[in-house]
Amino acid sequence: MTSAHTHLTQIEDRGLLRFLTCGSVDDGKSTLIGRLLFDSKTILADTLTAIERTSTKRGLTAVDLSLLTDGLQAEREQGITIDVAYRYFSTGTRKYIIADAPGHEQYTRNMVTAASTANVAIILIDARKGVLTQTRRHSYLAKLVGIPHVIVAVNKMDLVDYSQATYDGIVAEYSAFAEQIGLTDVRFIPLSALVGDMIVDRGERLDWYTGPTLIDILEAAPAAHTEKAESFRFPVQYVCRPQASDDPELHDYRGFMGRVESGEIKVGDSVTVLPNGRTTRVKDVQLYGQSIGKAIHEQSVTLLLEDEIDISRGDMIVNSEEVPVQTKQIEAMMCWLSETPLSPARTYWLRHTTREVKAKVASIAHRVDINSLAKDAATTLAMNDIAQLTLKLAQPIFADNYTESRPTGAFILIDESTNNTVGAGMIVG
């Protein structure tokens, strides 16, 4: 085995971190992502040659790293970004997935989409412009979708002479706003994506900043969504009954397949099955037909139970001590995603974990103006609107508050006729 290989397999694996970048092209978002990919050596020679060629064609003297995130033909034609793009890089110790969300106001739904799977948000601020309406909007959405860690990247420091006073002013203004909306874990960093200062390398012009570089902050960020101990939640995706097998031992095999959405589980644990409410113990935790004894948060496994209980897809196996609420009415924050407005007269499919039930809007408490955070009355919702509302359900779901448990507090609404995903909801009660 060569030393390079030893290095690859022996380094510490710090898991996978999903983060979101918010800001517009003007804030240097594409350049920042390009810089992360370039400085982490993810960009390979042929891609670099291609963007060098395009940069030259456009009369630029230096390579425009923002071209690395140049999107679809349809987007290039219109000069806008219409969708969330996912990018990948690795530092050797940790793998990163970037959700690159467009910054325009009309794309609130894209930011909510990108934020739904992210554990860290990088909010870009142009040092020359300071905290803008857009910054507040992005921050509110990050809070709404429950991103636990926010990094405020004050970019374009090269254009304000690397002024500490400018940076300090932005930090003070943003901190006051963050407190107002309840963002608790906020880190600040001055940087220049264009020049490359404080991204991977410190550069030489920000001596007054003694904190970690952007990549150091990302390397140290917790990979888990929350550090709190969570209740065990296991929505059943699929039931395995391999009766036809020639192996008699498998004749009575009933495996409940799913992913541990929160908490953990081990052989012998007492569990309750919803909706029927029966309690039993875990006989085995398996993966690939092998007993693995226990499973942690986000692990896909198969559970075998001691008692024979009728369980199918859409049911949920939970910790007997911490059973979620069974309810046919939920209070939720909703982001409307569809060009067709929400109709309180219509019935929608509501998908919550692996469970699908019919749902109808009972009332809309208020709509939130995400620029001013003012609440106003509404009888319908248009695309990109955010509102608090009450939904009535045809069958119960097993609900947690979104702030307590993201995977069992989230749901989507599906239009019955088009099958489109039209709403994203977060349960508040």
Partner 1 sequence: MSTLTKQTLSHLDWLESEAIHIMREVAGQCSNPVLLFSGGKDSLCLLRLAEKAFRPGRFPFPLMHIDTGHNYKEVTDFRDKRAAELGERLIVRSVEDSMARGTVVLKNEGESRNKHQSVTLLEAIEEFGFNACIGGARRDEEKARAKERIMSFRDEFGQWDPKNQRPELWNLYNARSHKGENIRAFPISNWTEMDVWQYIEREKLELPSIYFSHIRPIVMRGGAMVPVTDITPARAGEEIVQMQVRFRTVGDITCTAPVLSDADTVEKIVIETATTTITERGATRLDDQTSDASMEQRKKEGYF
CB nearer to partner 1: give 29 or 351: 351
φ/ψ bin of 327: left (φ > 0), alpha (ψ from -120 to 50), beta (otherwise)? beta
CB of 139 to partner 1, least distance (A): 17
Looking at the Cβ atoms of 58 and 204, the one nearer to partner 1 is 58
Nearer to partner 1, 125 or 150 (CB): 150
For residue 211, the minimal CB distance to partner 1 (Å) is 12
Contact between 386 and 144 (Cβ < 8 Å): yes
The SS3 call for residue 109 is: helix
- CB atoms closer than 10 angstroms to residue 12: 8
Distance CA 288, CA 367 (A): 47
DSSP 211-226: S--HHHHHHHS-SSS-
Which one-letter amino acid corresponds to residue 214?
A: L
Please, which residue, 282 or 350, has the CB nearer to partner 1? Answer: 350
Indicate the helix (H) or strand (E) that contains 323: none
DSSP 170-208: HHHHHHHHHHHHT---EEEEE-BTTTTBTTTB--SS-TT
Rounded to whole angstroms, the Cα distance separating 128 from 276 reads 59
- Return the CA Rg of the chain: 24
In the bound complex, what is the minimum distance in angstroms from residue 225's beta carbon to partner 1?
A: 9
Secondary-structure breakdown of the chain: helix, strand, coil percentages, each rounded to the nearest 5: 25, 35, 40
**Which DSSP string do the residues of 382-397 spell out, in sequence order?**
-TT-EEEEEEEEEEEE
**80 vs 71: CA distance, rounded Å:** 9
- Whole-angstrom Cα distance, residue 339 to residue 383? 5
Q: How far is the CB of 228 from partner 1 (least distance, A)?
A: 9
Comparing C-alpha atoms, which of 72, 75, 89, 76 is closest to residue 36? 89
Of 75 and 132, which CB lies nearer to partner 1 in the complex structure? 75
Nearer to partner 1, 88 or 208 (CB): 88
Using the minimum distance from each CB to partner 1, give the nearer residue, 132 or 383: 383
Of residues 287 and 373, the one with the C-beta less far from partner 1: 287
Residue type, 181: I
Say if residues 352 and 293 touch (Cβ distance below 8 Å). Answer: no
Closest distance to partner 1 from the beta carbon of 132 (Å): 25
Reading the block at residue 19, the tokens are: 């983060």
82 vs 159, beta carbon nearer partner 1: 82
Tell how far CA 298 is from the center of its chain.
14
- Other CB atoms within a 10 A radius of the CB of residue 270 amount to 12
The least distance separating partner 1 from the CB of residue 246, rounded to whole angstroms, comes to 11
CB of 13 or CB of 207, closer to partner 1:
13
Neighbours of 80 (CB within 10 A): 14
Q: In the complex with partner 1, which residue's Cβ is closer, 181 or 240?
A: 240
The alpha carbon of 260 is separated from its chain's Cα centroid by a whole number of angstroms, namely: 17
Beta bridge partners of 315: none
Structure tokens at 142: 């990050």
